[in-house]
Amino acid sequence: MASSDSEFNPDLLLAHKLPETRSTYNERDVAIYALGVGACGQDAVDSHELKFVYHENGQEHVQVLPTFASLFSLGSLTDGLDLPGFKYDPSLLLHGQQYIEVYRPLPSKASLINKVSLAGLQDKGKAAILEIETRSYDQGSDELLCMNRTTVFLRGAGGFSNSSQAFSYKNYPSNQGLAVKIPKTQPSAVCEERTQPSQALLYRLSGDYNPLHSDPNVAKLAGFPRPILHGLCTLGFAIKAIIKCICKGDPSAVKTISGRFLATVFPGETLITEMWLQGLRVIYQTKVKERNKAVLSGYVDIRGLSSSL
């Protein structure tokens, strides 16, 4: 059950302003992230992926995968949010869902101001569901670049409501980030990629240092036989596959990303991402080949399909 220094007061919680955070990154960070989600992992000179890690064909800057935006929301949750009357243990956090809106292609280097707000909180008894929205602005121009909405399941953090009715709050449109229905038809495209045994160790260099993904003892205490892959790493693999197979390698085609994490992935397993193109929306599902288990599903909205896509 959640512990708190003060009694839970819904009005106080909803009026509370969360502090801004700041992010600075450069091309090295962009390339390390791309490698962390498998860019050029199957083919070191992949024509669709080399541009994410190298100045291919004389391009001035490396290109940025849209899921790089997910890193801007990391600090708030992993460090622990200061919410009045509500406390949680960041080490017991499970990632449930990620929703991203990208308003323009991300620059290869930038300094950002991240404005953080509470998007949702639900008391589930023994656990709680917490949703945080992060809007990232270019520090120099104040241009809004992207928005993340992160949904996490917090074990042991429930039971904080004072009334007989469990507290439940959500402040965003109900049609955003909904679970998708996977079509029963043949997919428009299928991409198969094997993750490396060291994938989580490489991905963690982008800022998610939760020992659940690197320390075998911590993983065993959490009930896993060995460290698991970051959910956002799996999401990166899936969206990279959509960019390659549907968008013909153009990351700027991605407008909105929604992903729901269904099960864990172990580094070294093979990911199969199936994609169904429905107008300007791509429905996708990612499975672990070795266990034939769905681990991620969602949708990607794209800006358009030109003759070059």
**Residue 54, both tokens:** 């190298």
Active-site hit among 29, 95, 123, 208: 208
Q: In the annotation, is 129 catalytic?
A: no
Catalytic residue among 100, 228, 242, 272: 228
Q: Give the DSSP letter string of 35-76.
A: HHTTTTSS-TT-TTTGGGTS-GGG-SS----GGGGGGGGHHH
**In whole angstroms, what is the distance from residue 111 CA to residue 140 CA?**
8
Q: Would you tell me how many other CB atoms lie within 10 Å of the CB of residue 81?
A: 18
Of the candidates 48, 95, 213, 230, the residue annotated as catalytic is 213
158, two tokens? 């429930």
Q: Which residue has the tokens 């121009």?
A: 141
Count of CB atoms situated within 10 Å of the CB of 258: 23
Q: Which of 36, 96, 177, 231 is catalytic?
A: 231
Does the annotation mark 249 as catalytic?
no
Would you call 208 a catalytic residue per the annotation?
yes
**CA dist., res. 177 & res. 150, Å (int):** 10
Q: Indicate the helix (H) or strand (E) that contains 297.
A: strand 293-302
158 is an active site residue: no
Report the catalytic residues. 208, 213, 228, 231
